[in-house]
Amino acid sequence: MTEPDVTDGTLARRVGDGDERALEEIFHLHNVAVRSVAGRVLRDHALAEDVVQETFTTLWDAPEKYRTELGSLRSYLVTIAHRRAVDMVRSQVARARREDQPPEPARASVEEEVWSRTVSGSVRRALSELPDQEREAVTLAYLHGLSYTEVARHLGQPEGTVKSRIRKAMRRLAASLAEEVRPEGA
């Protein structure tokens, strides 16, 4: 373990030189204090262990950030742990608030709303111009989400007939809408 004359600064410098043994010594000396602070803030053993690991990893990654003139290594590590734990709590609270709020409805611009209503009206008009059997097949397939097989069963007609009617109806709708609905500049 640590010799009595080994200082915080010496241990931190050794960590800076890549001495894993120095990090082990620091961990042995200070892990209980770090774990205690993280545990009190988080009240969750697994999250506290994550904070302990992050704290010592922070020291390993940037030992030069510890400055002996500002305090002991224990105080430095406990401060890092406390900050990480508080950040984790804040993150959890913010996530819970976001999850509890219903999503905001999408706000369409006036132009988008007008365009959407225009297209919707055009589609309704084009559908109304279709022969009854085609309109019924398209409505069941595209507005009610039925498969061709389900539409055929619902209408009591062969599937091939239903497919042909839907294809013919879609060509008519496309032609009708191409004439009626054109965005600016098209």
pLDDT at position 2 = 45
Domain of 37: which CATH number?
A: 1.10.1740.10
Domain of 129: which CATH number?
A: 1.10.10.10
Per-residue model confidence as pLDDT tens digits over 30-44:
999 999 999 999 999
pLDDT at position 103 = 67
Q: 131 or 143: which carries more pLDDT confidence?
A: 131
Q: What pTM did the predictor assign?
A: 0.53
Per-residue model confidence as pLDDT tens digits over 46-79:
999 999 999 999 999 999 999 999 999 999 999 9
Count of domains forming the chain? 2
CB-CB neighbours of 56 under 10 Å: 21
* Residue-range definition of the domain harbouring residue 93: 8-100
Q: Which of 57, 76, 100 is the last residue of a domain?
A: 100
Does residue 55 form part of some domain?
yes
How far is Cα of residue 47 from the mean position of the Cα atoms in its chain?
21
Q: Which of 45, 71, 100 is the last residue of a domain?
A: 100
